[in-house]
Structure 1
Amino acid sequence: MPRPGLISALAYDDPKAAVAWLEKAFGFEVALLVEDDEGRLAHCEMTYGESTIMIGSPWHERIASPGMVGGKTTQTVHIQLGADVDAHCARARAAGAEIFAEPEDQFYGDRTYRCYDLEGHIWTVSAPVEAVSIAEMEARSGHKITTPSA
């Protein structure tokens, strides 16, 4: 029984190719695959750790893969790793990801890289490398950071 939560759904012009690529590049695993009577992918659910994403074709006139609309996108997807962002980046690069932000330590204590997938979706991949207090994050970034009161 699914638990309450949020699942991102991504549209691809070639969703079967996307499923294979996401397995190879990022390490996602297929949890559910639905094909129509002609063997086309109708719906796929993939997991990474405790998280799930859905993969499919555009099913509405306002849904498109970035490659279908000149590379534009209205959301990005974030993968939170346990460790070794550099190895994950190398794996994604070897699978054909276009890395547009190389792995770099961030003011908030994560090491992060960013890439485009095979159809232009933007992915951010991070892992914690140090514990950083709110005060230190503010000092490093120049931003004012607030959290809800307990």
Structure 2
Amino acid sequence: GEGAANFASPASVGGKNTQSVYIRLREDLGAHCEKARAAGAEIVEEPIDRLYGERQYRARDPEGHVWTFTQTVRIVPKEEAERLSGLSIEGWHR
């Protein structure tokens, strides 16, 4: 439903995402994912290790918002990220 006149749930706009939520976890992303699944969240992307050193999963809440949960599993040097991605990277923060 609608929380206020300036907010909209994805259900009210044809299922389009209306926000981006990115939550950093300190530990046990896999257990967090299973807890979210058990609570009824739709897991739209299972836990996966990214080339930039993060393990992530994405879940859709009952309103239709997609949440990204992430945990740093290793520090990736800029040179390695460039080699793996085939891209030139500026502003690497790791």
- Give the TM-score normalised by the residue count of structure 2: 0.89
Equivalent residue pairs, number: 92
Q: 2:86 is aligned with what amino acid?
A: G
Q: Is the 8 A contact 1:81 1:125 kept in 2?
A: yes
Q: 1:59 is aligned with what amino acid?
A: A
| Residue in 1 that maps onto 2:44 | 100
The answer on 1:65 being equivalent to 2:6 is: no
What does 1:128-139 correspond to in 2, within 5 Å? 128-139=72-83
What does 1:76-91 correspond to in 2, within 5 Å? 76-91=20-35
Q: Is the 8 A contact 1:58 1:65 kept in 2?
A: no
Kindly, what percent of the aligned residue pairs are identical? 49
RMSD across aligned positions (CA): 1.6
Among 97, 108, 112, the residue aligned to 2:56:
112
Cα distance between partner residues in 2 of 1:137 and 1:130: 12
Q: 2:5 is aligned with what amino acid?
A: W
Q: Is the 8 A contact 1:113 1:125 kept in 2?
A: yes
Q: 1:88 is aligned with what amino acid?
A: H
Unaligned runs of at least 5 residues, structure 1: 1-12, 15-56
Residue 142 of structure 1, CA deviation: 1.9
Unaligned runs of at least 5 residues, structure 2: none
Task: Return the structure number with greater strand share.
Answer: 1
- Give the TM-score normalised by the residue count of structure 1: 0.57
Task: Determine helix, strand or coil for the equivalent of 2:34.
Answer: helix
Cα distance between partner residues in 2 of 1:115 and 1:142: 29
Q: 2:83 is aligned with what amino acid?
A: A
Deviation string for 1:74-120 (max 9, x for gaps)? 43100001111111100111111111110000011010001111111
Q: Is the 8 A contact 2:45 2:57 kept in 1?
A: yes
Using CA pairs under 8 Å that are at least 6 residues apart, name the structure with larger relative contact order, 1 or 2: 2
